[in-house]
Amino acid sequence: MIAAWPCAPRAMAAGADDRQSAPPRSVLGEWVGTYVCAQGLTGLTLSIAEATPTQARALFHFYADPRNPKVPTGCFTMTGDYDPATGRLRLKGGDWLLHPSGYRVVSFDGLVDAEGRRFSGKVGGGGGGCKDFDLGRRPSPAPPRAECAIPMPPAQPDQVDAGGIGSALAADGRIDLNILFDFGKATLRADGTPQLDELGRILLSPSLAGRRIGIHGHTDAVGSAEANLRLSRQRAEAVRDYLVRQFQLPASRLDVQGHGEARLKRPESPEDEANRRVEIIVLE
């Protein structure tokens, strides 16, 4: 007796420049509030562990609200996707961890406000009778049962930087991403997507939103220098295209260069795949 998924209304139709200038929403961590389904008003702690354009991951922990004390406790996993430019977060119910008899998983489709303090929208699924949810940043009134706990990254007011990309850019102005490429290829591999999603969130943060960013490609030393130079630029272009497509970053903000085999990361091992990488540099 929980919920499915109409679209939350869009309050505005912003252009790409408006979306780029808006501050990023803080999404990760705990959201606490209520939602309404067939069982009535229900308390909820939603713990979001990951939120990117390609993957979101959360735990849905529901329990009785004092105004509706007969609701049992339960929890299930959720997955979905997040658009950092608009603040739209969509989550679909997954696997039960603590399942009260007769209850069904729900889905959420809502918007995180520009300050990252409120997440609200529509509830779907759950067998019908579901309406709205409204969550904020406040202490949960119901400590989770052991079944309803999920490892969480540390929440920060601006953005969560789980992989250290933001801190490296702040300290050194550059970082070598561990985005590896197959030999002779410029196609992004799936194992590099989490870092690119993290990078995209960071480049939307207030500290970097106005800065130009260098995306410099590198290769190993196998093959001709001319072919490697061309391939390294194609790799940098692949990263740029991903950031433009998934995060609506203007291409003019991203300076793409290829260095071929001229700057090996491991010169003692010129054929090592670690040399096939992309370097991110804060330019101005």
Domain harbouring 111, CATH code: 2.40.128.620
User: Are 215 and 117 in a shared domain?
Assistant: no
Length of the chain counted residue by residue? 284
On whether residue 147 sits in a domain, the answer given is no
On whether residue 103 sits in a domain, the answer given is yes
CA–CA distance, 199 with 197 (Å, rounded to integer):
5
For 88-134, give the DSSP string. Answer: EEEEEEEEEEE--TT---EEEEEEE-TTS-EEEEEEEETTS---EEE
pLDDT tens digit string along 182-195? 778 888 877 777 78
Count how many domains the chain has.
Answer: 2
**Which residue has better confidence, 18 or 43?**
43
Q: Say if residues 106 and 1 touch (Cβ distance below 8 Å).
A: no
Measured CA to CA in angstroms, residue 148 lies from 47, 161, 191 at distances of 10, 24, 28
pLDDT for the residue numbered 141:
87
pLDDT for the residue numbered 56:
87
Question: Phi and psi dihedrals of 261, rounded to 5?
Answer: -100, 10
User: Are 209 and 261 in a shared domain?
Assistant: yes
Domain of 185, in residue numbers: 165-282
On whether residue 4 sits in a domain, the answer given is no
On whether residue 145 sits in a domain, the answer given is no
User: Are 134 and 182 in a shared domain?
Assistant: no
User: Are 272 and 210 in a shared domain?
Assistant: yes
CA–CA distance, 66 with 51 (Å, rounded to integer):
31
Task: Determine what percent of the chain falls in helix, strand and coil, rounding each to the nearest 5.
Answer: 20, 35, 45
User: Are 128 and 181 in a shared domain?
Assistant: no
Q: Angle at the Cα of 55 (from 51 to 57), degrees rounded to 5?
A: 60
Task: Name the band, by pLDDT with cuts 50, 70 and 90, for residue 130.
Answer: very high
pLDDT tens digit string along 210-255? 899 999 999 989 999 999 999 999 999 999 999 998 888 899 999 9
pLDDT above 90 as % of the chain = 46
Q: What distance lies between CA 237 and its chain's CA centroid?
A: 21
On whether residue 37 sits in a domain, the answer given is yes
pLDDT for the residue numbered 137:
87
pLDDT for the residue numbered 281:
94
User: Are 105 and 204 in a shared domain?
Assistant: no
User: Are 78 and 192 in a shared domain?
Assistant: no
On whether residue 156 sits in a domain, the answer given is no
What CATH number has the domain bearing residue 255?
Answer: 3.30.1330.60
* Maximum distance among all Cα pairs of the chain, rounded to whole angstroms: 72
On whether residue 152 sits in a domain, the answer given is no
Per-residue burial over 128-157, b if 16 or more Cβ lie within 10 Å, else e, is: eebeebebebeebebebeeebebeeeeeee
pTM: 0.54
Measured CA to CA in angstroms, residue 40 lies from 37, 47, 102 at distances of 5, 21, 14
What is the Rg, in whole angstroms, of the alpha carbon atoms belonging to the chain?
Answer: 22
Among 36, 27, 123, 40, smallest CA distance to 82 is for: 27
Across the range 94-120, mean pLDDT stands at 92
Asked if pLDDT for residue 83 goes beyond 70, the answer is yes
Task: Name the band, by pLDDT with cuts 50, 70 and 90, for residue 26.
Answer: low
User: Are 64 and 130 in a shared domain?
Assistant: yes
